[in-house]
Amino acid sequence: MTTKKLSDLAKTIRSKNAGTDKITFDIIFRERETYEMVKQSKALTPQTVRQILGIDQSRLTDFVEYDPAYAIKFTILRLSPSGSAGDGDIFGAQQYAPFLDLDIPMPQ
């Protein structure tokens, strides 16, 4: 099976704070065809997001496939508030990295 890395398909892969207790992720595509292909591949689902991040189901608060923007968006609860003692990523801007190398199956 042929695959491509998500980072080769998406225009934007990012994470950022969504208040002090959440981090939101955006995966945005340039064209509808690529967005639809990734959606249909089922490589990015609530289950795969939890697996990739190694988090419990209760921490994934939102998962949206937003067709008008060709975007897949999801939000997780932080283990501790942004900026609290021991927080290694105050802005939540470094949490997207595990998704860069995600293999997306390509249609035959």
Could you tell me the residue range of the domain that residue 17 belongs to? 3-102
Q: Is residue 107 part of a domain?
A: no
Reduce the DSSP state of residue 84 to 3 states and report it.
Answer: coil
Q: pLDDT tens for residues 30-78?
A: 999 999 999 999 999 999 999 999 999 999 999 999 999 999 999 999 9
Q: Is residue 43 part of a domain?
A: yes
Number of domains in the chain: 1
Q: Is residue 10 part of a domain?
A: yes
Q: Is residue 31 part of a domain?
A: yes
Q: Is residue 108 part of a domain?
A: no
Q: Is residue 22 part of a domain?
A: yes
Whether 43 contacts 103, CB under 8 Å: yes
Q: pLDDT tens for residues 68-93?
A: 999 999 999 999 999 999 888 999 99
pTM of the shown model: 0.94
Rounded Cα gap, residues 81 and 94, in angstroms: 16
**Do the bridges between strand 12-17 and strand 22-28 make them parallel or antiparallel, or are there none, so unpaired?**
antiparallel
Strands (E), 10-95: 12-17, 22-28, 60-66, 71-77
Amino acid at 79: L
**Residue 11, CA distances (Å) to 32, 50, 78 in order:** 12, 22, 26
